A and B are shown apart, each in its own frame.
Chain A
Amino acid sequence: MMRLPTKKIALLAMFAALSLGIYALESAVPNPVPIPGIKLGLANIITLAVLKKYGFRDAALVLLVRILLSALLFGSLMSLMYSAAGGALCLVGEYIINRLLSGKALVITGIFGAILHNAGQILVAFILTSVPGVLVYVPYLLVAAVLTGLFTSLAAHFTLKLLTKLPAD
């Protein structure tokens, strides 16, 4: 088992709660886009901010808690598989891109994260239904990912700028 200082546990729990709250709020607002599966993905703001500030392990913990709790509270086994596939691909991709860019240009990292998230979801949908027709969703999801990724990563950037009193480690 990894050891986390109490302060860090509290901090990560706060981020997990924050991202769960954002997720719940976003689910409560009716989706203006007529295509199911397309949404802003505001909870990713937190994942991205934690990834940049504290690294992969901490972001993965926050993401794991958020996905498990949101599936327990609002979802089903299906939505769990769905968001786990998207979330895992997204986080790994963001980690790699963030490393490549040495933590700079968070917007690019966020856009790739969103693209991978949506790619993971459509992959699960394709595997579950095995109907090639669902791949018609792909271009819609990719266009949406670029726009939503831009938005959430800008939000993460400004979140980090505002949270100046966060412990450095």
Chain B
Amino acid sequence: MSDNMPDKENRDNKPNKQLLTRIIVLNIIIAVIFSGSLAAIILSRPGSGSSISGGYTATVYQNGRVISVIELSAAEDSSFTVRTEQGGTNTITVKDGDICVSEASCPDKLCVKEGWGTKSPVPIVCLPNRLVIVISDNTAHGGEYDALTY
């Protein structure tokens, strides 16, 4: 195809080999990133036999500080609201050994849409209110950090 661009780069007329090398190197980088991430995802999965799980622990962070640690399997069904200094709110609901953000003051409500914590492979995050709920599997050792070891 004829690309009729204003060819500023055409001054070096022997770029083909160099260009090819760059394309190959960049492709390899992409392949490494892709397969590495895929491997990290597969390895950090809670495992298909999750029925023998020893339950989950939810750690609720606000502004990077732990404000609540909930042993989900032992917790009573309950609901509480976390407030930020700016007046933002997140209502966190614990029910049937699971946890979710049921209401939030933020505009996008991604944390509410994320649903139940133990069903999701990633933490529940509400960025506007700087709230994070990390779910860790009690049977796995330090499950929440597995993805960082690659």
- Which A residues are within 8 Å of any B CB, using their own CB? 31, 34-37, 52-53, 75-76, 78-79, 82, 97, 99-105, 108, 111-112, 115, 124-125, 128-140, 142-143, 146, 161, 168-169
Contacts and interface: CB of A to CB of B under 8 A. Distances in A.
Contacts, number: 130
Interface of B: 1, 3-6, 9, 15, 19, 22-23, 26-27, 30, 33-34, 36-38, 40-41, 44, 59, 61, 63-64, 106-108, 110-111, 113-115, 120-123, 125, 127-128, 130-132, 134, 144-145, 147-148, 150
A52 B145 CA distance: 40
B16 to A, nearest CB: 10
A136 B61 contact: no
Contacts of B134: 131, 133
A85 to B, nearest CB: 12
A52 B106 CA distance: 37
Contacts of A35: 114, 120-122
A133 B123 contact: yes
B130 A129 contact: yes
A37 B110 contact: yes
A168 B106 contact: no
A146 B113 contact: no
Contact of B106 (A78, A97, A136, A169): A78
A142 B36 CA distance: 9
A105 B6 contact: no
Nearest to B3: A103
